Structure 1
Amino acid sequence: MTSFSPSRVLKTLFAATATAGLMFAAGGAYAQNTPGVLRVSAIPDEAPTELQRKFKPLGDYLAKATGLKVEFTPVTDYAASVEGLVNRKIDMVWFGGFTFVQANERSKGQVTPLVQRVEDEKFRSVFITTNPAITKLEDLKGKTLSFGSESSTSGHLMPRSFLLGAKINPDTDLKRIAFSGAHDATVAAVAGGKVDAGALNISVWDKLVEAKKVDPKTVRVFYTTPGYFDYNWTVRSDMNPALKKKILDAFLALDASTPEGKEILELQRATRFIPTKVSNYSAIEAAARNAGLLK
């Protein structure tokens, strides 16, 4: 658990990006371009085993739709997912809104957000606590708080933005800030009494409650943010247009009325997928610049 400052976050992000770049340059975590293979990854906002479990039916579906072998490779941090796509070691990535903005900036606009869930048009974050004295954001003053990853949209950037909007500066008004690294880890930190409160993605929160992995009477939501654009599937802009269309059409064709579509959509926590575009993430980019996370 570490304390926060915008300059430290920038140094951490740049150091992680540089490390990831060296790893890819050395031919590290990813296989080199292989004909007939669609290489896919995702930001590590949940445990690697959970990401693999969620992706397998979707990967099988995309393999049938494209005629390619689909390989999913988890990454260790958010920066590695950005560098993997930018350096052409990955073809498609499940990004959060902020990591898409980072990838778009890092590549000078050479990545394309393809689809998002309907739910991502008005995504939300929740603040949770076990402390009965905390009932609103203002009650966090003088308390300890855990975000998720420093690069997380729903686990850091947007919760930070809404705190600032409530005239709470996390760097000066809170006793201590920690970064858990993932949404489920934030819940564990709050439930275990390591921090007074935490902020995370509402989708993961709902999933943990439904799976009875957290008792909402003990760990409770005390604030839910307004909606904002968040997650998307992004591809490299230089991807073959015919392949890009096959992937897009496959996502748009997913239908909960079919057994296959129902399984995939439930695992992705989606009603359906819809096209998305760069301009949808302008508010997230503005929030990141305002927070000093993008220059």
Structure 2
Amino acid sequence: MAAPAFADFQLSDRYSDADGDLIADIPTDAADLLDPSTLIFAYTPVEDPAVYAEVWQGFLDHMSEVTGKKVQFFPVQSNAAQIEAMRAGRLHVAGFNTGSNPLAVACAGLRPFAMMAAEDGSFGYEMEIITYPGSGIEEVKDIAGGDLAFTTETSNSGFKAPSAILKADFGMEAGRDFTPVFSGKHDNSILGVANKDYPAAAVANSVKGRMIERDVVSEDQFNVIYTSQTFPTTGYGVAHNLTPELQDKIKDAFFSFDWEGSALAEEFGKSGEAQFIEISFQKDWDVIRKIDDANGVAYDCQ
């Protein structure tokens, strides 16, 4: 019953997957295991890293108590830099955005195990194509002949999903029917539309929602012309070569964290999240791997 996309997903030859769960096995040789005195944590670079260093501090203090390790926040500026940091052993625990998660699993040995969810266990976000009132764009086909802002090529909602959807459902391709421009981050795309720098953009509505809640932008600055199915959100995991005992303690830190009154609850509650839940990369990221397959994405690990 394996999905077709499974056959196309391959880990780098640096890793093994004896149990077939699509994630790197923990090394069996003690010489290959890491037990660092300081754990480095990074959150996906979707918005201002300085804001999120403060948001995550209470959680990182909790992780420190549970693991007995110092825990340091590492502000990454790009998905590529985040993946390379874990691949090189400089990053131990991280939240990788939806689209870069498969690449981090394949090329950096990420073992994802958690995702944020609402109190009732529901999770996810939608990709929206947004424009500004008065842009002259009333529906998706009106993008033709103009610019469409994406974030980065590793982003699911910022590039991969809209590319696949525009091609499959609307017969529109970048370079032929519209000009793609890349903003680097979701907040850049959202601000770009709000300030009328971009006529339209593909973004994650969870990021837009949090920016509206923080009064960075307002709802009336946007018209939504397309909303996708629901996708899984940021996946949190560990480097594959941390000791099994340390990996277990890190998982415990996620699932034992008390959200009530926390900075995480204040920030991520704006998009409905209230807890960490356990995930399966094999199952929960199936739709994302299928989108990658539709876009001809190859997980080339350089």
* TM-score range normalised by the length of the shorter chain: 0.7 to 0.9
In 2: Cα distance, 1:37 partner to 1:150 partner: 32
Cα distance in structure 2, aligned partners of 1:138 and 1:200: 17
Amino acid at match of 1:129: T
Is the contact made by 1:100 and 1:234 (CA closer than 8 Å) also made in structure 2?
no
Pairwise CA distance, 1:173:
4.9
SS at match of 1:287: helix
Letter in structure 2 aligned against 1:40? F
**How big is the shift at 1:34?**
8.0
More helix, by proportion = 1
Q: Please state whether the residue corresponding to 1:90 is helix, strand or coil.
A: coil
The question of 1:266 aligning with 2:286 is answered no
CA RMSD, Structure 1 to Structure 2 (Å)? 2.1
Pairing 1:206-245 to 2, within 5 Å after superposition = 206-245=209-248
Structure 1 position 82, deviation (Å): 0.8
**SS, match of residue 124 in structure 1:** strand
* TM-score for both structures, normalised by structure 2: 0.78
What is the TM-score with the length of structure 1 in the denominator? 0.80
CA distance in 1, matches of 2:226, 2:258: 33
CA distance in 2, matches of 1:43, 1:90: 12
Structure 1's 135 and 254: CA in aligned 2 closer, same or farther, altered over 3 A?
Answer: farther
Q: Distance in 1 between matches of 2:72 and 2:155?
A: 24
Q: Trace 1:48-59 onto structure 2 (pairs within 5 A).
A: 48-59=49-60
> How many pairs align?
258
Write the deviation string for residues 11-55 of structure 1: whole angstroms up to 9, x where unpaired: xxxxxxxxxxxxxxxxxxxxxx88321111233111221232222
* CA distance, structure 1, for counterparts of residue 176 and residue 218 of structure 2: 29
Find the aligned partners of 1:290 and 1:140 in 2 and give their Cα distance: 21
Q: CA deviation at 1:78?
A: 0.9
After superposition, the Cα gap between the structure-2 partners of 1:250 and 1:36, relative to the gap in structure 1 and judged at 3 Å, is same
After superposing the two structures, state which structure 1 stretch, 213-222 or 180-189, moved more. 213-222
How far off is 1:263 after superposition?
Answer: 2.9
Q: Does 1:293 align with 2:297?
A: yes
Match of 1:42 in 2: 43
CA distance in 1: counterparts of 2:77 and 2:224, whole angstroms: 29
2:130 aligned partner: 128
Q: Which letter maps to 1:146?
A: A
Contact 1:252 1:274 in 2 (8 A): yes
Q: Secondary structure at the match of 2:277?
A: strand
Matches within 5 A, 1:1-295: 35-107=36-108, 110-118=109-117, 121-132=123-134, 133-256=136-259, 258-259=260-261, 262-269=262-269, 270-279=273-282, 280-294=284-298
Which aligned segments of 4 or more residues in structure 1 are displaced greater than 6 angstroms? none
Tell me how far apart the structure 1 counterparts of residues 112 and 107 of structure 2 sit (CA, whole Å): 14
Asked if structure 2 preserves the Cα contact closer than 8 Å seen for 1:138 and 1:166, the reply is no
Q: Are 1:98 and 1:151, in contact at CA under 8 Å, matched by a contact in 2?
A: yes
Letter in 2 for 1:190: V
2:21 aligned residue: none
Equivalence for 1:6: none
Q: What secondary structure, in the 3-state scheme, does the structure 2 residue paired with 1:38 have?
A: strand
SS in 1 for 2:170: coil
Structure 1 residue ranges without an equivalent (≥5): 1-32
Could you tell me how far apart the structure 2 residues matched to 1:192 and 1:176 are? Answer: 19
Q: Secondary structure at the match of 2:289?
A: helix
Report the CA distance between 1:224 and its aligned residue: 1.8
Unaligned runs of 5+ in 2: 1-33
Identity within the alignment, %: 24
